[in-house]
Copies of this chain bind each other. A is one copy, B any other.
Amino acid sequence: MESIKAPYKTKQQDLLLSYLESIKGKHFTVEDVREHFASKNSSIGVATIYRHLEKLVANGTVNKYIIDETSAACFEYLGNDACHRDVPHFHLKCSKCGTLIHLECEELLQIQEHLMKEHGFMLDSFRTVFYGTCSKCAGK
């Protein structure tokens, strides 16, 4: 068997996880994290941030959203809040004003069921972003 690869606890890891806990459910970029610590005289290298987030995304603690290919990736810390993760929520991104909307809607679960039963496709509601136009922008 392979052994788990992260046996060490480090100061940077603690700082990072504490910060992520404090912004649970909010969206952030790597640059946001870097700036946060830079202003606190306890800077963390971007490489370290990327490497931690990569692992956190892999184990489901953090979600990664591809909002726009030319701008930075958007992350969201979920932590061990199983409740939050048990309630599937979708993300709606308005192409016009850029607003990112959290949406917990049970009717959307029908999509998952349909895709699963009819097309054998297991939709990942956390990774998927719905693009379109929000009500505010549509009204104009």
Q: Which A positions have Cβ atoms within 8 angstroms of B?
A: 66, 68-69, 73, 92, 94-95, 101, 103, 105, 107-108, 110-111, 114-115, 118-124, 127-135, 138
Contact = CB atoms under 8 A, between A and B. Distances in A.
A127 B66 contact: no
A105, A118, A132, A138 interface centre (most CB from chain B within 10 Å): A132
Contact of A132 (B107, B128, B135, B138): B128
A15 to B, nearest CB: 26
B105 A108 contact: no
A110 B105 CA distance: 14
Nearest to A131: B127
A107 B110 CA distance: 10
A129 B128 contact: yes
A127 B127 CA distance: 15
Nearest to A139: B120
A128 to B, nearest CB: 5
29 contacts: A66-B68, A69-B73, A92-B115, A92-B119, A94-B121, A95-B124, A95-B127, A103-B119, A105-B114, A105-B119, A107-B114, A108-B111, A108-B114, A110-B110, A115-B130, A115-B132, A120-B134, A121-B130, A121-B133, A121-B135, A122-B132, A122-B133, A123-B130, A123-B132, A124-B131, A124-B133, A127-B131, A128-B130, A128-B132
